[in-house]
Structure 1
Amino acid sequence: MRSSYLFTSESVSEGHPDKVADQISDAIVDLFLTKDPEARIACETLTTTQLVVLAGEIRGKGIMDEAGNWAPGVQEEVEQTVRATVKRIGYEQDGFHWETLRFENNLHPQSAHIAQGVDASGNKDEGAGDQGIMFGFACDETPDLMPATLDYSHKILERMAADRHSGAAPFLEPDTKSQVTLKFENGKPVAATAIVVSTQHGKGYDQGDNEAELKAYVKGVVADVLPAELLSDATEYHINPTGSFEIGGPDGDAGLTGRKIIVDTYGGAAPHGGGAFSGKDPTKVDRSAAYITRYLAKNIVAAGLAKRVTIQLAYAIGVSKPLSLYVDTHGTGTVGDDRIEAAIQGIDKLGGLTPRAIRTHLSLNKPIYQRTAAYGHFGRKAEGDFFPWEKTDLVEDLKAAIAA
């Protein structure tokens, strides 16, 4: 690694049009998993001016049969869930309003050819829902073992959203983006060189005293979120650099599920396999294997085996056993990367990292996903059943496997 460099990550708020789509898709995942924990769901969402469209493939008891017939009342529940999600985010604007938007539901039964490859039958274990590669990452830059640039970008927007919902910042509207650039020395952040925040705002907050109030508020949030030693008179701020941002959300730009995968993961600090998470049930390894690789990476760093680690898994559709496991500690490991790989493979409770074993170990067949769909899937507190991949309960197993 270079010893001195600048690095930047961005985040987007719950009101960003792509994040609106992600949250709707995951709200549908939660709805269906509530009805059938073994449901198969691939729900894509499009948002634009006064319109939400759902498309994708589903299967599950009490949801839809193989002929495409909906169970009684479920279609109505789907629409209610969509509107409730938009309302919770806070959209009550002429161009996008939870109550008056048009809604289209184009979900249909899962392909039988996919089902036969993925489902367990006879002596065949449940296979991966698709081929692909998935990456996990952790580093010691923050207490949550996440890249600092992304962690601060998320937290700026979380704070602004909380103030908007509470009424503490009534001039804010839902659609917001942030970006943090940090200077690193010897792998540690030493200064914030640039902060970018573009926030949708109420009428008139792009001029005069109102604009000054908004900019002062944003700088105050940044000062609360970032460690004081990172900020100085040399920190460059770009707050609403276009000047005006009244038209936002799906009315300002169409939104699609799965278009913010770098925001969802590690802010560009680690590779990405290319698969989105939101809208997918946990049999889809795009989601579940990305969660287990984060879990493994976080536990490796928490165990003191490395300061920085990237993990890759690869799968073939319909095949239960992963094709490969790769560990790279970027020269920070206290033992060889091959020994960490062997240790992971030797921990029985991980079940060989098959799709079923991942779902079982992390208890993923629960309606826990809507909360993941804004402000990142990783680096969040493992509260109750939520974000179980953030637990560090594998530390002693890893240490024991390394010592064996």
Structure 2
Amino acid sequence: MIEKVNLSHPDKVADRIAGAIVDLAYRAEENPKIAVEVLIGHGRCHAIIETTAQLYKADICYAIARIAGDVETDIVIVPQDTHLSENQADGVRCGDNGIFKGMPLTAEQKELSGVAHNIYEKHPTDGKYILDGIRLIICQSNTDAEELKNAYPGAEINPLGGWTGGTDVDTGATNRKLGSDMADSVTGGGLHGKDLSKADVSVNIYAFLKAQKTGQPVQLVCAIGDREVDGIPYADIVAQAREYIDSIGGFEKFAEWGLF
């Protein structure tokens, strides 16, 4: 059983805005420390940003408008806590406590991800999809249901009928769709709105990629300040996560679909 949402879902809009702000921080500094929370809906976007990087509200507003359209903004930028920043002063160390799990993707999860991507290519509007065995549920806004019925015979299409979707209908919040982003790998914190020193980002990515490579579950635990996780330097885990983020085009792109 798996649920997937597309990148126009309100929660993913919030994730994408948070990712875009993290991208801005990485353009300002090589290794910024940043944590972003976004709440968006009904014409307003609230963003709280803790960061070491010099960010400008005009750049943030431009990113919000590019992703979410014409909305009022409420942006708060504050310095990251000095104790947290000092944790990284003498080298790359684990930026958070947490437990983490990487799980190999199942055929069902890969299939639904393919369905979600394919539908969004033709219908780039708010959508949510569920696959439970042979039961496929497709909820796609602003779309001809007959076209989807023809493409996916036997699927349940918009069970309550047509709908509008988007942030004018519902609110979105950062890291609220972790199942959609991580499948069975969900344990601790969310993937989005944070720099690579945060274990929620780097250790989650590392554990997921290791599980896909080995075909076996991965379970890890770390404490803030750890220099090693899974028997390797934390700096190596951050480097692997950075390579992955770079390969897909940055944190905003990462936020669109998560890990699969």
TM-score, structure 1 normalization: 0.60
What is residue 212 of structure 2 aligned with on the other side? 298
User: Superposition pairs for residues 358-397 of structure 1, below 5 Å?
Assistant: 358-364=237-243, 366=246, 368-378=250-260
Matches of 1:222 and 1:35, distance apart in 2: 46
User: Whose Rg is larger?
Assistant: 1
Q: Which has the higher contact order (CA 8 A, sep 6+)?
A: 2
2:152 is equivalent to residue 159 of structure 1: no
Indicate conservation of the 8 Å contact 2:196/2:242, yes or no.
no
Matches of 1:284 and 1:37, distance apart in 2: 15
Percent identity between the two aligned chains:
25
Matched residue SS, 2:38: strand
Indicate conservation of the 8 Å contact 1:159/1:221, yes or no.
no
Within the candidate set 85, 88, 99, 1:133 is matched to: 99
How big is the shift at 1:241? 0.7
Q: Size of the alignment, in residue pairs?
A: 257
How big is the shift at 1:259? 0.4
What is residue 251 of structure 1 aligned with on the other side? 168
Q: In 2 relative to 1, CA 321–370 (structure 1 residues): closer, same or farther, beyond 3 Å?
A: same
How big is the shift at 1:42? 0.5
> Root-mean-square deviation (CA), in Å?
1.9
Matches of 1:312 and 1:371, distance apart in 2: 26
Matches of 2:240 and 2:175, distance apart in 1: 25
Aligned-partner residue type, residue 25 of structure 2: F
Q: Which runs of 5 or more structure 2 residues have no equivalent in the other structure?
A: none
What is residue 200 of structure 2 aligned with on the other side? 286
What is residue 217 of structure 1 aligned with on the other side? 147
What is residue 48 of structure 2 aligned with on the other side? 55
Q: What is the CA deviation profile of residues 184-209 of structure 1, one whole-angstrom value per residue up to 9, with x for unaligned ones?
A: xxxxxxxxx2110111116xxxxxxx
Aligned-partner residue type, residue 31 of structure 1: L
What is residue 176 of structure 1 aligned with on the other side? 127
Q: Which runs of 5 or more structure 1 residues have no equivalent in the other structure?
A: 1-7, 65-73, 87-97, 139-145, 166-173, 183-192, 203-213, 224-234, 302-308, 326-344, 346-351, 379-404
Indicate conservation of the 8 Å contact 1:21/1:255, yes or no.
yes
How big is the shift at 1:362? 4.3
Aligned-partner residue type, residue 152 of structure 2: V
Matched residue SS, 1:287: helix
User: Superposition pairs for residues 25-36 of structure 1, below 5 Å?
Assistant: 25-36=18-29
How big is the shift at 1:271? 4.5
Aligned-partner residue type, residue 294 of structure 1: F
2:56 is equivalent to residue 43 of structure 1: no
How big is the shift at 1:239? 0.9
More helix by share: 2
Matched residue SS, 1:78: helix
Matches of 2:259 and 2:31, distance apart in 1: 22
How big is the shift at 1:153? 2.2
Matched residue SS, 1:279: coil
What is residue 349 of structure 1 aligned with on the other side? none
Matches of 1:26 and 1:221, distance apart in 2: 33
Matches of 1:220 and 1:33, distance apart in 2: 44
Matches of 2:82 and 2:241, distance apart in 1: 27
